[in-house]
Each structure stands twice: as C-alpha cells, then as structure tokens.
Amino acid sequence: MKWSVQQLNTLKNKGINIDEMVDVSDLKKTNNDIQDISLVHVKGEGNFSNHSITFSLSIKGEMVLPCSRTLADVPFPFQVETIETFKLHDWIGFEGDDDVHELENDIVDLLPYIKQAILLEIPLQIFSEGLKGDAPQSGNDWELLTEENKKERIDPRLADLAKFFDDK
C-alpha cells in the first residue's frame, strides 16, 4: 500500500490493481470504542493522469463496538467506498484543492487514508439486536417501569396519603 514516485512511474503503463487484506488493528488504540477489528479487505485500482494518481477503493471488514445501552459487544460490518487523489508533481492546477493529497518524501501511502475512512464509518450509537433480556431491569435505587407497571404501582412516598381518605 506504499509506493515511491519512481515505482509509480514504472507502473504507469500497466496500471495498479489492489486486492489485499490489511491489518488495521492499531485503530483500537486510536478509538476506544473499537473493541476488535478484523483484517480489512481493500480492493480497487489506481488511475494515472498527467500530474496525479487517483485510487478508487472499496474497503470491507467488521469491527466490534459496544452497545449504546448495555455495553455488550456488537459486531458491526462495514463497507466503505472512497476515492483518494495524490499529486505526483508540483502543478498549479491543484492549488487550494482539499481533495488532493500532498506526497511526503515522494511516497504514496494509502494506509492512513484507509484508516481515516474506517474511523468515519463508526456510528454515533449502535444497539444490539436480540439482547433485550440482557439489559438490566433494575439497579441501586432504580427500576425499569413499563406503562402497565406504572399504572398499577403507587409511589411509596405517597402511600400514607392514600390512607387519609379511608373510612375509620
């Protein structure tokens, strides 16, 4: 997933096809919500123009995130489509274009952009399916009430007040 400009110039006529499994497990250190992440399948191709190379990538994998209600582990499959463009030569046409990436030390490295695309796919909230019974129904000084329970139940703070109108 790393090429120097010289390597890219030799591949210009052949083109670049990508079909690799990539280890991005260090994302667990970057984002505390990620409990685990599988190897990620990256598939795509690189297309050359006069002064740049554009990669069209499909990133597919699965990560484990905590449920927003119960903190139980929830598998979250993802598939991301992204396009990344790198400027190969200094050219005036790319000035101020945020979608075009500069090269560092004349090397094109796709891995940081793959990781960024995966991090952007993490949902704000995720809920586990079928784990309804695993959610706690009561705790220290609290209890989950349903509408039926709420109607039948008398607030303990007002229980003595209910006795006020009883006939003596």
The strand pairing partners of 52, in sequence order, are 87
Average pLDDT over residues 122-150: 72
Q: 162 lies in a domain?
A: no
Phi-psi domain of 156 (left: phi exceeds 0; alpha: psi -120 through 50; beta: other): alpha
To 5 degrees, how large is the angle CA 40–CA 57–CA 45?
Answer: 115
Report yes or no on whether pTM surpasses 0.75: no
Amino acid, single-letter form, for residue 91 = W
Instruction: Judge whether 61 lies within some domain.
Output: yes
**DSSP strand pairing (40-48 vs 73-87):** unpaired
pLDDT at residue number 131: 52
The proportion of the chain whose per-residue pLDDT surpasses 90, expressed as a percent, equals 27
| 66 part of a folded domain | yes
- Domain hosting 48: range is 2-121
Q: How far is CA 3 from CA 7, 11, 106, in A?
A: 6, 10, 9
Averaged pLDDT, 56-69 = 91
What's at 132, amino acid-wise?
A: K
The answer to whether the CB of 108 falls within 8 A of the CB of 8 is yes
Q: What's the pLDDT score for residue 76? A: 92
Residues in contact with 123: Cβ distance below 8 Å, sequence separation at least 6, in sequence order = 65, 76
Q: Is the dihedral of CA 161, 162, 163, 165 positive or negative?
A: positive
- Assess if residue 154 is contained within a domain: no
Band of residue 98 on the pLDDT scale cut at 50, 70, 90: low
Q: Give how many domains the chain has, as a whole number.
A: 1
Q: What is the pLDDT of residue 42?
A: 93
Chain length of the chain? 168
Q: What residues does 138 pair with on adjacent strands?
A: 143
